[in-house]
């Protein structure tokens, strides 16, 4: 298991973000937004520059993140745009010699069961592109989308039945979608996970709140113990936690240190 950080959880400036990530102890950086733009609108030279900057700081780029299919299911123009974005994400993934890129499953509109067949049909062209290009699609369980839990992700995988669809597992998103992430949600998808996002959360006064890793209600001791013993991919911090009156970078530092603290107690660092 390798430790990473989504760089814009620190800063839009890659030089600064990568420097902080390395200092904290990460070996990987995940690229979503840099220089105020999503990675998929960058030119090839800009993306290769990011790779060079990462190497300068002793880091590897684990993957790049598009927002493909974070749209309403009936948005025909949005679907065509998502396919264009996906093609670009795949081009950049191959440019960086990586193996997978992320997709979503449309904004939530009444639950997965109601829309499952339609989702499978709409994702079919994306899976054809993935197959043609030899790049895996990692579907992220996102609480604001149709697939938010491990259980729902399992249902989608069983419906699609494609070797080109794997899982980007996010315990924090599963928690927000009202699932017990570990062990319940994780058990449903653990054989299909290709990448992991880490964020902690709790319920305070009836509202969901992001927390530093180890300070929320998710069983990260159990989750990380199992990942550290059996997962050979990258786990990327995506904390979303900003301490009151402080910065996103401060929240990332606090969360990454919480992650290291758990791993230290488990004797993995």
Q: Phi/psi at 66 (nearest 5 deg)?
A: -95, 175
Q: How confident is the model at residue 206 (pLDDT cuts 50, 70, 90)?
A: very high
Q: What is the pLDDT of residue 14?
A: 98
pLDDT(269) > 90: no
Distance CA 207, CA 25 (A): 32
- Average pLDDT for 88-113: 97
Q: What is the C-alpha to C-alpha distance for residues 216 and 7, in angstroms, rounded to an integer? A: 22
Confidence of residue 125 (pLDDT cuts 50, 70, 90): very high
User: Which domain covers residue 13, as residue numbers?
Assistant: 2-265
The span from the CA of 124 to the CA of 140, in Å, is 17
User: Which residues, 6 or more positions from 175, have their beta carbon under 8 angstroms from its beta carbon?
Assistant: 181, 201, 208, 216, 217, 218
Average pLDDT on 193-214 reads 98
- Given a cut of 80, whether residue 48 has pLDDT beyond it is yes
How far is it, in rounded angstroms, from Cα 8 to Cα 251?
12
* pLDDT tens digits, one per residue of 70-91: 999 999 999 999 999 999 999 9
pLDDT at 268: 84
CATH of the domain at 83: 3.20.20.150
Report residue 206 as tokens. 């009836």
Question: How many structural domains compose the chain?
Answer: 1
pTM for this predicted structure:
0.97
**Local structure of residue 244 (DSSP, 8 states):** T
Determine the average pLDDT of the residues in 42-52: 98
The answer to whether the CB of 175 falls within 8 A of the CB of 181 is yes
How are strands ordered across the β-sheet holding 2-6? 60-64, 28-31, 2-6, 234-237, 193-198, 165-169, 136-140, 100-103
- Let me know: does 120 contact 159? Beta carbons within 8 Å: yes
The share of the chain scoring above pLDDT 70, in percent, equals: 100
The helices-and-strands tally (H runs, E runs) of the chain is 9, 12
């Amino acid at each position: 298991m390798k430790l990473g950080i989504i760089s814009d959880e620190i800063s839009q400036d890659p030089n600064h973000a990568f420097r902080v990530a390395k200092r904290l102890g990460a070996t990987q950086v995940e690229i979503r937004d840099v220089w105020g733009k999503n990675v998929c609108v960058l030119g090839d030279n800009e993306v290769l520059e990011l790779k060079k900057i990462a190497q300068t700081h002793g880091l590897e780029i684990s993957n790049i993140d598009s927002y493909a299919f974070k749209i309403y299911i009936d948005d025909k123009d949005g679907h065509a745009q998502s396919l264009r974005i996906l093609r670009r994400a795949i081009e950049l993934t191959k440019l960086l010699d990586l193996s997978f890129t992320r997709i979503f499953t449309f904004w939530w509109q009444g639950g997965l069961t109601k829309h499952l067949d339609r989702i499978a049909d709409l994702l079919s062209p994306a899976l054809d592109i993935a197959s043609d290009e030899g790049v895996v699609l990692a579907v992220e369980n996102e609480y604001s989308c149709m697939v938010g839990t491990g259980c729902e992700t399992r249902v989608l995988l069983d419906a699609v039945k494609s070797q080109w669809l794997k899982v980007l597992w996010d315990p924090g998103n599963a928690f927000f979608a009202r699932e017990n992430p570990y062990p319940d949600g994780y058990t449903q998808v653990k054989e299909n996970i290709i990448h992991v996002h880490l964020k902690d959360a709790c319920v305070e006064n009836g509202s969901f709140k992001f927390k530093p890793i180890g300070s929320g209600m998710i069983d990260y001791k159990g989750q990380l113990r199992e990942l550290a013993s059996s997962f050979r991919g990258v786990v990327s911090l995506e904390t979303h936690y900003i301490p009151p009156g402080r910065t996103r970078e401060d929240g990332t530092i606090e969360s990454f240190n919480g992650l290291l603290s758990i791993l230290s107690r488990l004797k993995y660092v």
